Every structure is written in C-alpha cells, then in structure tokens.
Structure 1
C-alpha cells in the first residue's frame, strides 16, 4: 500500500502582513480547490490511500464534495486545538501510520511546524502563505503527481528529493525549536504579533539559505551571496552601525527595507553560534516564537539533516525519461 498525507493549514495566508505590507489573502476556499487537484494527482500517480489533518474549516471534506476518488481519504484521529500544534501532531501521526510523502499547504511557518513533527517523510511544501521561501509555488495537479510517484516508489527517492538544511535553536545547550529558512534575533521582549518587519530591532540574522529572488529575511543575505537549501553551510549577519555596507531587500510583499550590515560570516554545520541579545526573542521563519530570558544562553546551530524535500520539476523530468505516463 502506498500512503500519501496532506496537511492544509486553514490559518496560513492571513497574518498581519496583510495590514502592514501588501500580502495577498489566501482564502480557505482556494485551498479547497488546491486540495481537489492534489487528490486527483495523487490518485493518478498510483497512491492507494490518503491521510489528512482534520481542521476547523474542513478543507479536505469540502474538497471531496465535488470529486469521487477511487481510493480512501481518511482523517487521522487526533484532537483539533486550532493552533500550530495540530500540524506538528498530525505530521507525527502520519509518520507512524506509514505515510510515504507529506504535502503541506502553507507558508514557511507551516512547513516548520510540520517538520517539528517529522523530518523522516519526504515533504512537498505547497505555497499558500505570506513569505514563501521554503514552499514550492506551482500547480497542485502536477505537485500531486510528483508526490504520488515518490510515495509509490515508482521513482527512486534519492533522485527526486534533496536534503534541506535547518537550524537547531538551543537554550542553555538544549534544543528547543527549529527553523527551516531564517532565525532573527529580536530585541523586543513581547511576542504580540508574531511577524517581523521592524528591522531596526534585529541585531542578528541567521540564514540556512539565501537568494536575491527570495522574499522575506533571506532576501537580505541574497544580496550578498547565494546559498542553496542543500548547501552544507549557512550565513550569520550582524546588523547595525557602523555598517560595512547597506542592503535593500523585499522583507515582505510590497515592503522594502534598507539594512545596515556590520558583518557577515559563514556558518559551518554543527557549530553553535551564540546569540548576543538577552533578554529578547528569536523569530523563526518570520514568526516570533522563542523567548530569551535574563540569565539564559541561547545559540543557533546549522543541521544538515533537515527534511527530505521533493523536487517537482526533477521528479516530473525523471517520469518523462522513464516513460511513466507514456
């Protein structure tokens, strides 16, 4: 039996950056339409069972109202708390139930909390969030085909996927969280709205990847150097005056910032880089999550054993070479 899993976050694409910047609203009815196409793609690829995370909007049940797949589509049994822990719990259960691929609908933050539940399942993150550096932006029908081919084993997993790096967030030498794209130290001591857009309050920025065409905090590093997700190195930036140079970057949809950069250094794997601000907060993949309390010692470490991510374009090219649909 080949099992695929779907996590669709009903809260993604709706945060405060619709007010302070110019982000598009990604409504849940659009997610319903995306899930329909995913299910049909998974079925056509040969998947024999689909698991999904239950949610308050009933995204998957609504998607099933107008299609009749020939395979079972089952909710995992779990309490629905309507917070990010639902995604983490669902991913862990799906791994236990033998899911061979996990499709996540959301932004960088949704992918992060899914990986807190499991990094063992090959992941296909589909973009329905605000800042979408980690997720794939593309057609769900084809994404369903690609994920289904991996789930069914019709193509070798190692040829279809890449291993992404991530950050381990440590407090007093104990791992407390992860980040997939960026970790920003924030001098505020109140979480309030989780999104980050006041760059004058960010003295340190850590990046697992950066590209000039990205949006969000990784776009800052992308103006200095390009680092791909699978490269075994990261970047740490010290922000403030006196600046060695200034970077202009799109830190949110329609929002630009000029950032004074004091210093840039490469992060090799497994080396703990200390956080210099205390007290404060650490924003993970664009959302303030971890509190640094007085007397605590926080650090960040690059981990090369992050999630295995399905590359849709590479997978479909391999399908063509192997004549799987011909």
Structure 2
C-alpha cells in the first residue's frame, strides 16, 4: 500500500505579523480548495491511501464534501490541541503508519513543526503561511501528483528530493530544538508575540539558506550571499554598532529595515557557534521559541541531517522522461 499524508495548519497565515506588517490573510476556505486538488492529484498519481491531521476547522472533511475519491482518506488518531504540537505529533504518527510523503500546508513554522516529528519521511511544503522561505508557492494539483509519485514509489525519492540542511539548537550541549531557515538570538527575556520585529535586539543571526528574493530574516543574508537549501554550509551574522556595512532587507511583508552588520562568517556542518546572550531567547524560523536560562550555555550547530524536500519541477520532469502519464492509444 502506498500512503501519502496531508498536514494542513488552520492557523497559518493569520498571526500577528499580518496586522503589524502588510501581508494578506490566507483563509481556511482556500486551504480547503487546495486540499481538494491535492487529493485528486495524489489519487491520480497512484497513491492507495491518504492520512491526514485532524484540525479544529475540519479542512480535509470540508474538502471531501464535493469530491468522491476512490481511495480511503483517514484521520490519524490523536488529540487536537490547536497549536504546533498537533503538527509534530501527527507527523510522527504518520511515519509510524507508513506514510512515504508528507504534504504540509503552512509557513516556515508549520514545516519546522512537522520536521520535529520526523525528518525520515520526504516532505512537500506548500506555502500558506506568513514567512514562506522553506515552503514554496505552487499549484496544489501538480504538488499532489509529485508527492504521489514519491509516495507510491513510481519514482525514486533520491531523484525527486533535495536534502536540506537545518540547525540544531543546543543548550548545555543538548539539542533542544531545530530551525529550518533561520535562528535569531534575541536580547530579551519575553516571548511576547513571538515574532521578531526589533532588529536592534538581535546581536546574532544564523541562516541555513540565503536569497536576495527571500522575505523574513534570511533576506538579510540574501543581500550578501546566495546559499541554496541543499548546500552544506550556512551563514553566521554578527549585528550591532561599529558595523562595517548596513543591509536593507524585507523582514516581513511590506516591512523593511536597515540592519548593521559587524561580521559575516560561513558555517560548516558540525561547527558549533556559541551564543553570547545570557539570559535571552532564540527565535527559530521567525518565532521566539527557545529561552536561554541564566547561567546556561547556548549554541547553534549546522546539521546536514535535515529533511528531504520534494522538488516538484524535478519530479514532474522525471515523470515526463519516464513517460508515466503517457500511454499508447
């Protein structure tokens, strides 16, 4: 049996950054329509069963109201807490139940939550969030086809996926969290709204990838270097007074800031970079999550053991080469 899984976050694209910045709201009805197209794509590609994460809005049951797929579509059994632990829990259960590809609808934070559940199952992240550096914008129909080809084994996952790097967040040498895109040291002790707004409170910033076309904190590094997700290197930035340069970057939709850079260093896999703030907070993938207790040792390490991410264009190009959707009349 070939199993694919869908994790749709009903809260993505609606956080406070949509009010403080100028981003559009991604409503749940659009997610319902996307899931409908995903299901049809998965069915057509040869998947024989779909698992999904239950949620308070009932995204998948609503999507099934107007279609009648021929394959079983089942919710995983789990409590609904309506926070990011739902995504982490669901991803772990889906791996146990034999899912061969996870389709995640959300932003960077939702993808990170899924990868905290498992990095052993390939992930196809579709953008429906605020900061969307890790997930991509794309047509759900084709995403369903690509994910289904991987999940069904009709194409080898090694040929369809990119192996992404990530950060290990360390406290006293123990891994306490991960980050897929960025980790920002915040010189404060309050989680508050969790989003990172005041760059003057960020003395250190670590990035797994950089692009001048990105939005969010990785856009800062993107004005200096280009680092692809699959490249085994990262970027460590030191911010503050006596800067050698200032970088203008879009750290949120419609929100620009000038960031003073003191130092730029490349990060090699396994290399540990100490954090110089204590006490403080580490924001992972745009949200303040990890508290640094007074007297503890915090550090960041680049890891090559990140998730395998389905490359839709590469997968569909390989499907064309193999003639998977062509047959003699």
Tell me which interval the TM-score lies in, with the shorter structure as reference length: over 0.9
User: What is the CA–CA distance in structure 1 between the aligned matches of 2:71 and 2:197, rounded to whole Å?
Assistant: 44
TM-score (norm 1): 0.99
Aligned-partner SS, 1:18: helix
Q: What is the alpha-carbon distance in structure 1 between the residues aligned to residue 19 and residue 134 of structure 2? A: 23
Do residues 323 (structure 1) and 323 (structure 2) align?
yes
CA distance in structure 2 between the aligned counterparts of 1:105 and 1:173, rounded to whole angstroms? 32
Q: What residue is the counterpart of 1:30 in the other structure? A: 30
Residue correspondence of structure 1 range 97-108 to structure 2 within 5 A: 97-108=97-108
C-alpha distance in structure 2 between counterparts of 1:110 and 1:73, whole Å: 22
Report how far residue 221 of structure 1 moved. 0.3
Gap regions ≥5 residues in structure 1: none
CA distance in structure 2 between the aligned counterparts of 1:42 and 1:279, rounded to whole angstroms: 47
Q: What is the SS of the residue equivalent to 1:85?
A: helix
Residue 266 of structure 2: aligned partner: 266
Shift of the alpha carbon at 1:10? 0.5
Matched residues in 2 for 1:6 and 1:50: separation?
Answer: 7
Q: In the alignment, which residue of structure 2 is the partner of 1:182?
A: 182
Q: Give the alignment's TM-score, normalised by structure 2.
A: 0.98
Partner residue of 1:82? Answer: 82
**Superposed displacement of residue 179, structure 1:** 0.1
Q: Which secondary structure state, in structure 1, belongs to the residue aligned with residue 215 of structure 2?
A: coil
Q: Does residue 17 of the first structure (1) align with residue 3 of the second (2)?
A: no
- Once the two structures are superposed, residues 212-232 of structure 1 have per-residue CA deviations (whole angstroms, 9 ceiling, x without a partner) of 000000000000000001111
2:57 is the counterpart of 1:57: yes
* CA distance, structure 2, for counterparts of residue 124 and residue 319 of structure 1: 17
Could you say which residue in structure 2 is the equivalent of 1:283? 283
Which residue does the alignment assign to 1:72? 72
Specify the SS of the correspondent of 2:206.
strand
Q: Map residues 174-253 of structure 1 onto 2, 5 A cutoff.
A: 174-253=174-253
Q: Secondary structure at the match of 2:320?
A: helix
Offset at 1:188? 1.5
Deviation at 1:124, TM superposition (A): 0.1
- Counterpart CA distance in 2 for 1:179 and 1:148 is 27
Could you say which residue in structure 1 is the equivalent of 2:92? 92
TM-fit CA distance, 1:193:
0.2
RMSD: 0.5
Aligned-partner SS, 1:159? helix
- Displacement of 1:293 in angstroms is 1.2
Query: Hey, what's the Cα distance between the residues in 2 that align with 1:156 and 1:136?
Result: 21
Deviations 1:289-312 (A, max 9, x none): 000111011000000010000000
Correspondence list, 1:306-321, <5 A:
306-321=306-321
- Consecutive aligned runs of 4 or more in structure 1 exceeding 3 Å deviation: none
Aligned to 2:138: 138
Report how far residue 136 of structure 1 moved.
1.4
How far 1:75 sits from its partner (Å)?
Answer: 0.1
Local SS of the residue matching 2:258: strand
